[in-house]
Chains A and B, each alone.
Chain A
Amino acid sequence: MIVAEQKPMEEIVALVAGHKRVLALGCGGCVTVCLSGGQREVSTLASIVRLGCRMTVEEATLERQCDAEFFDAVREQAERCDAILSLACGVGVQMAARLFPGKPVYPALNTRFMGTNDGAGQWSENCLACGDCSLGVFGAVCPVARCSKSLLNGPCGGSANGMCEVDPERIECAWQLVHDRLKALGRMDVLDAIAEPRDWSKTHSGGPRRLSREDMADLR
């Protein structure tokens, strides 16, 4: 799931400064689930901005902001506002900008990572969309996303008590996890093999990526 968090209030206020009528636009997808951009958050944020910045703030929440069709429902509202404050992830913010070319569109969130929920209010990253998944090799623990250095052949010297030196209180050493998992599966032989350097062009390092399914292409 995409995990995003609201920007600091000062930053949001600075972004919308100078406008008179803003549309706070929420998204019913990932950002609702991670409690940062759903209907309730829209309502709360809109209220705070109205009280503090003395501007009119309209509210709406779409099913999702990553698909253009959902924006039809707010076309009129968007027209009468002089800016859009999107509470979607970066994808949704850009979709709004694409669909309303003359309108300033501002992000209310920082899109942080793809990750999992660890309990109420807690999320952690465990996939960075590298495009070439090797979870099958490493016992389904990802050294690319969860090792701070994305090492592929074992831990560095900073691994202590199962924790990573980058943040020994919070970050677990991914290689400790890989080791424990492979041990439980009886596949320690995997660690004997040397993993070759990755093809990083499959990750964002090769530029923004596209995906195409030939069997669907006709329906454009």
Chain B
Amino acid sequence: MKKDAISTVRGSRSAQRGRTALVIGGGVAGAAVADRLSRGGLDVHLVEKQPDIGGHAAEMGCKAAAACVRCNVCVADEIFRSVRESAAARRRGRARGAPAPIRLHTSAEALDILPGRNGRRFTAVLGGNRRRTKRIDADFVVVAIGYRPFDPVENSSYGYGVIPNVITGVEAERQLAAKQRIVRPSDNTVPKRMAFIQCVGSRTEELHRRPEDTDYCSTVCCAYALRMATRVKHQSPDTDIAVFYMDIQTFGKGFETFYGQCKDTMRFVRSRPYALNAGPEGTVRVKVATEAGATGNGARSEDRAGVREETFDLVVLSVGIRPPPDGLSLATKLGIASDAQGFLGLKRAAAQPDLQRPGIYVAGAAESPKDIAGCIAQAESVSALILGAAVGRRVGRGKRGVNRDTAVVGGGVSGMQTALALAKLGHRVALIHRGPDLGGRAAPEQAGHLDADSEAAEARARDLVARLRDAVGNEPGIVRYPETALESVTGEQGGFSLFLRGRRERQTVAAGALALATGSTAAPATGHMSGAIMGLAGLRAKVRQGAVVRRVAFLLDMDGEHGREAWIRVLTTAENMSIRGIQTKIFCRNARVAATGMERLYRRARAAGTVVVKFDTNPAVTERAGRAVVRSTDAVAGADVSETFDIAVFVERRNWSGSAAVQRGVAGLRAGPEGEWQYDSIWLLPGLTNRPGVFVVGAARGDSECRAGLMDGLAVAYRMHALLSGDALRKRDDVATVNAEKCVLCLTCLRVCPHGAIAIDPERKAAFPSPVSCKRCGICVSECPAQAMTLPGFTDERITAEIGARPKTVVFACENSAAPAARAAGRSYGASVKIIVVPCAGDVDPRMALSALESGARKVVILGCHPESCQYLSGSGSADRRMRRLADRLAKAGFDGSRVSFHGITAMESGKFADFLK
């Protein structure tokens, strides 16, 4: 599916002849940039120090438990495979007219970057171990040199390197990648008691100002630790797992559900262990000082405050991200800035860090800590900038019938950024927004993390909005539709029709792709609202009215997890209030600081006087005599404490699903489990929806902050450009077809298609899968009650023939996950096992499984992606439910239902493959 979305440019080659890019670093970000730029028509050199590309992500393992946990390691793997194929194609020689494949230079380093010769901007000098140096001329340089994981040897209290069963997160990942399990190094056994220690090397204290201290959150450690822990618990349910933490950061879609499941199965101890010592038989003794109720896990606990020691069989140190060791020297050589920590580029409000040398970009964890999805998003945002600069205004020849115009709905920061990037990439943009002016709802209090102090940050945020607004005004390619709402969208990618309603009239706009940047709305504040108890909006109003306020309480996490967006607002507001002498207190479960600049904002607010109190049970908030009373449990004393404030603020939750009207209007658009527009599957990289050609960007996508929103805008612009420029939109001849005679127009196929690719053909009076948008997954074919649909290449006849050999075990293997896993498993299964490859597990009709059983098979196994990570979104989930129902019905008819089953597997889990055949 992703292969269709980003394809190669043919038409605009002439515009990009002679445009060369040099990418330094072959990790996720570097490989992704190389991949996107080469598909965009540029000549790309990818330089990697190690003998192979892959960086740290190549050493990470799949952490799927019963369900996919969205760690994105398989997505990264896919990118590396694609780049290696491209580089191999180059060696084989390419067909005339095909785009230039990536030139891979492994075991090579960029020794220097000199001013360019031959009319180019740069000339890079590459050196390898013993090879002679090479010179490469380039117009663009992307620095993606990655990061260095924190080495806990630097802090002796962890006992790392001394105690054998203390390992780092990196080592745990390597174990998962190699043998799909985590075991004790001392004796290779599965631990009965396991601990994860968070914030190792991140968010450390500045008290002693050691060189290794950090004042940032690495953003990835909570995610990887909890995912690993979930996997371990799934594989060994008897293992007791404890997580020692300060604050658990939010990550990804479905976080609340996932975190809730973790809290049910593991112990969370709010404390930072201060000493690890070796115990008998390889155990590890962890000394920890806790507050009362620290092991509460959200419920009240009887624990007193004090010092304890716990013994574990294995301890994993969740090490954070440090800047790359050669970062500073490379920055100096290139003349680009680096920040106080050693990450590259300045961290201003712009999506791309300001650089002193035009033509040089930074992507990935070298720029700031981020996860795999973040690296890919940044890689695409950089690609958008580079392609925009390389392509200029030349749109190039698109395919016939593809409308290369685009539309952006929403005039806030993300919407404006997307529109500008699209215009630079040569597309006309219809920018549709509800208000009379551009600027959206960006508020100064969303900007506190952008600069060294909140006032400077607010000015910077206003400046950013103004600059974007001016740029849009000066961009001839953008046509504005102010005071206009989107009513509905018909058509499909390459040819949408948008029906708009302005103040006085209705209009239609045509576009090949569209981005929804409609932002978020505040959900109504919960809790008893009154004169002294209100939401953030109410606080703002009160302050504007000039009310005298001396003490303010902020309440977070009362009915769900608040994320970065809420925390930036609260901390900025609190810092400003504290500076003006107002006492502020924040009550929360976890402080959320996982974005660049947020930890520093957190510390600033506290330095200014804001007090942060963590609770395990919700405080009770009441009103008395016109003031708010907050009653909470004091952690040290273990007793309840009541405090009075002038105002108590219940921080509102944001509603990410945006306008319900817009959601209804875009036919076939499906929401994720928590109402977000982006359907919940890792294969939908940030910005994509289930509907091809419809993208979501900015706050409409979920918990966002403005820097990420800007980066998203660029990344989505890249994706829209790639969709409309490549041959993704060609008509195919192998899509699902409908026999009009048998079709009863029950509309089932239309409703189950996850991509919205089926419509009704009024002339044939039958369903009609689009030759452009049909993804050929076959989910519709297996649901058709009249058996009126076929997928060429996967017909009943073919499958019957394959079953005909009367094998003992029949395996239906999805081509995206199970089939590669089977190939990697390598063994020959002999004639008694027949592997039938299908496009998606959702293509397997129960009738096929029954047919196999009636032919004498002992066992029928359907293997597909884990339901949450089905590459066709809903196929695996469908297969799972169908096979359960079938097994149940067989059992009730007196047949052994366990002979039919569905299992989820990823392409990387070849070790599991054999298990399913037993």
Contact = CB atoms under 8 A, between A and B. Distances in A.
Interface of A: 8-10, 12-13, 28-29, 32-35, 38-41, 43-44, 47-53, 117, 119-120
A119 B751 contact: yes
A51 B847 contact: no
A13 B787 contact: no
A44 B847 CA distance: 5
Given A35-B748, A40-B845, A117-B747, A52 B890 contact: yes
Given A38-B744, A39-B787, A41-B785, 12 more contacts: A9-B888, A9-B893, A28-B744, A33-B746, A34-B746, A38-B786, A40-B784, A47-B851, A48-B850, A48-B890, A52-B893, A53-B894
B419 to A, nearest CB: 34
Contacts of A49: 893
A33 B889 contact: no
A51 B851 contact: no
B892 interface: yes
Interface string B873-891: 0000000000000101110
Contacts of A34: 746
Q: Report the interface size class on chain B.
A: 20 to 34
Given A28-B744, A40-B787, A48-B889, A13 B850 contact: no
Contacts of A47: 847, 850-851, 853-854
Contacts of B893: 9, 12-13, 48-49, 51-53
Interface string B734-763: 000000000010111001100000000000
Interface in B161-180: none
B784 A120 contact: no
A49 B893 CA distance: 6
Contacts of B752: 120
Contacts, number: 75
A117 B785 CA distance: 15
Contact of A33 (B744, B787, B845, B851): B744
Contacts of B886: 44, 48
A88 B10 CA distance: 55
A41 B751 CA distance: 19
B895 interface: yes
A41 B888 CA distance: 15
A52 B752 CA distance: 30
Q: Which of A8, A10, A49, A120 has the most CB of B within 10 A?
A: A120
B482 interface: no
A33 to B, nearest CB: 4
A40 B847 contact: yes
A4 to B, nearest CB: 12
18 contacts: A8-B892, A9-B888, A10-B892, A13-B892, A13-B894, A32-B785, A33-B744, A33-B746, A35-B785, A39-B785, A40-B845, A44-B846, A47-B847, A48-B893, A51-B850, A51-B854, A51-B893, A52-B890
Nearest to B845: A40
Given A40-B785, A49-B893, A52-B890, A35 B746 contact: yes
A28 B747 contact: no
Contact of B786 (A9, A28, A117): A28
A10 B888 CA distance: 11
Contacts of A51: 850, 853-854, 890, 893, 895
A29 B785 CA distance: 11
Contacts of A10: 892
A15 to B, nearest CB: 12
A195 to B, nearest CB: 33
A38 B785 contact: yes
Interface string B844-862: 0111001101100000000
A79 to B, nearest CB: 25
A9 B892 contact: yes
